[in-house]
Structures are given as structure tokens and as C-alpha cells.
Amino acid sequence: MGGSGTPTLASVPLPSSFYDDKDDTGNTGSGSNLSALYAQQMAAYQNMLDQQRARDAEAARQRRAAAQAAYEKNMSYLNDAYARRGELLQGNYNDTLAQLQGQYAYGAQGVNENADRAQQQAYLNYMLSKRDLPQQLAALGINGGASESRLAGLYNSYGNARSAVDTGRNSDLASLLNTLNQNKSSALQAYNSALSNDAAQKLSYQMQLEQNRDNDIADIISQYGAIDGLDSFYAEEMKKLNQSQADAAQKSRSAVYSAGNTPAAVSTQQLTDDLRAQGSKVYQDAYQKAVQDGYTQIASSSAEDAMKNFYYEMYRSGVMDEETYELLTR
């Protein structure tokens, strides 16, 4: 049983009276008292056994108590360590979500600012066109239904420009939000994985401590690996997610939206065609007037001069450029 060892019957000393009591032949111990002496020896032996068992039981109790105390102290260390690690993981996860959300807000703000500027430019272009186009058309003699049709086309162009900007805005915001949701999902997965790994590691430590307790091992273990720090893989994963969102935000902020409806002006070909039609009308009017006035022989030359004068006035007033003027008068 441990301790000083279990006593044997031979180790129990006989009382001194056993040696003093001799019979007529000189032999020690008479038959009359052997039984009593044996009973005394057995009683003493049993007493020694009882004392030894009590000492062994007390030693075992103390070992169990020390092992239990060590187990409870180790479990306290273990629970505190993993509680701190849980707080560290939770704090890092929350910080990551806040950073991801901040990067999304930063990118979305840039998208909306760029789109709003494009919308403002589209409106400005529309208003400039609305102001200038009637003057251009009047210079060409275009009015009535044709003028109203071109103003309606101008408004449609403005509407199309706004629609194109909104489409670009919505597409970029959706892409940015999709990146945010993916990164948040990845962050949650990494966080849950870290918690699961911690739970498995803590259980392993706890099983070791329980085994030590059951084996009456009273060692105090105050350190449990790198519990108080984040795993490098986990920290790097969260860092990559933040960088991914930052890249997406920067890309979104650099998106350029075109107003699409530049200030209205009659195209070169359209202007040429309109001027040619106007010149033909001037020619016809001049020719008919010359005939009515009796100048039939010079009607053609008069009409030609009138048409050239019309083209020259359009060139001089800036309605047509030199290239168009030369094209129409050659």
C-alpha cells in the first residue's frame, strides 16, 4: 500500500513476560499462557495494520486532494486563457467587419459622387443644348415641326444619358456590395473555424488535465501554447479580406461615368444637307422672281448669285465652316 510497507506478524515483538515465564525444564513460555500471548501478539499486529492503513489512506487522500486542487487550478488557467482568446477573436472579427463595411461605404460614396457629377453634367449639357439649338436651327431656317422634333430628340438624349449613368451606378454598387457580402461571409467562416479549433484544442488540454487528476498528478500547468495570440494564418486571412474590399472600393471610386449627351450641335453632314436644301430654295425663289420680273435670260445667273450670297452669309456668320462653304460653292 505504499508508505513504510505493510507490517508482518514476525515484526511484532513478544511481551517481556513471555521470556520470564519458564517451566520446570527451563523452556520459555508455558502452555497455559501461549494462547494469551498469541492473542496479545495478534492484537498488536492488527493495531499496526490499522495504523498503517490509516496512514496509507491519509496519504492517498492528500494525493487526491492535491491532484484535484491542481486540476481545478489548471482548469481555471485554461478557462481564463481561452476566455481571453475568445474575446480576442471576437474583437478581431468585429474589427474586420467594421473595416469591410467602412471600405464599402468609402467605395459607394465614390460611386455616387461620380454618378451624381455625371448626372449634373448631363443636365448641364441638356440645358446648353436646349438654349443653343433653336438659334442654330433658326439660322438654317428650320422651324415648326422639324424644330420641335429636334428638341424632343434632345430631351430623349438627356433621358438616355441619365439612364446610362444610373445603370453604371447600380452595376458598380451591386458589384461592391457583392464583394462586401463575400468578404463578410469569408470572415465569419474564418472566425467560426478559429472557434472550432479552439474548442477542440481546449478539450484536448482538459482531457490531459483530467487524466493527470485521475493519476494523482499534481503538476500545475500555467501555459497552454500560444493561446493569447491570434494564429498567423487566421490573422493573414482577415488581412487579405480587408485588402480585397479596399481594392474593390478603390476600383469603384475610379469608375468614370460619361454624361453621354454632349451639348447639342447639328452634325457636319446634317448641317451640309440642311444648307444645301436652303440654298436650293433660295435659288428657286430667286429664279422664279427673275422670270416674273421679265428677266428670263438672266434668271439662272441671278438665282446662282443669290444662292452663293446665301452661302457666304452663312459662312460669314459662323453657321458653317470654311470646308463646308467650299464644298457648297464649288
pLDDT at 26 > cutoff 60: no
Average pLDDT over residues 1-29: 53
* Distance (Å, whole) CA 126 – CA 153: 11
Range of the domain at 95: 83-264
Establish if 61 belongs to a structural domain.
no
* Distance (Å, whole) CA 304 – CA 306: 5
- 170 and 312 in a single domain? The answer is no
- 260 and 275 in a single domain? The answer is no
Query: Tens digit of pLDDT for each residue in 279-316?
Result: 777 777 787 787 787 777 787 888 888 888 877 776 66
Q: What was the pLDDT predicted at 173?
A: 92
C-alpha cell at 319: 453657321
Average pLDDT over all residues of the chain: 77
- 151 and 260 in a single domain? The answer is yes
Q: What was the pLDDT predicted at 67?
A: 84
Contacts of 206 (CB under 8 A, 6+ apart): 75, 78
* Distance (Å, whole) CA 143 – CA 138: 6
- 152 and 279 in a single domain? The answer is no
Establish if 67 belongs to a structural domain.
no
Establish if 124 belongs to a structural domain.
yes
Closest CA to 272 of 319, 213, 223: 319
* Distance (Å, whole) CA 9 – CA 127: 123
pLDDT at 98 > cutoff 90: yes
- 155 and 303 in a single domain? The answer is no
* Distance (Å, whole) CA 236 – CA 152: 58
- 214 and 286 in a single domain? The answer is no
Domain endpoint, select from 264, 298, 319: 264
* Distance (Å, whole) CA 137 – CA 153: 14
* 8 Å CB contact between 266 and 277: no
- 250 and 318 in a single domain? The answer is no
Domain endpoint, select from 241, 264, 287: 264
- How many domains in the chain? 2
- Residue 24, classified by CB atoms within 10 Å of its CB into exposed (0-12), middle (13-18) or buried (19+), is exposed
Establish if 5 belongs to a structural domain.
no
Residue 22: strand pairing partners: 28
Query: Tens digit of pLDDT for each residue in 263-281?
Result: 544 455 655 666 677 777 7
Query: Tens digit of pLDDT for each residue in 43-66?
Result: 887 888 888 888 877 887 888 888
- 256 and 291 in a single domain? The answer is no
- 125 and 194 in a single domain? The answer is yes
Establish if 184 belongs to a structural domain.
yes
Q: What was the pLDDT predicted at 266?
A: 46
Q: What was the pLDDT predicted at 12?
A: 55
- 178 and 307 in a single domain? The answer is no
pTM, two decimal places = 0.58
* Distance (Å, whole) CA 146 – CA 168: 33
Indicate the range of 23-32, 87-96, 138-147 predicted with least confidence. Answer: 23-32
Domain endpoint, select from 264, 297, 312: 264
Angle subtended at Cα 205 by Cα 201 and Cα 211, rounded to the nearest 5 degrees: 145
pLDDT at 177 > cutoff 90: yes
Establish if 36 belongs to a structural domain.
no
Higher-confidence residue of 202 and 225: namely 202
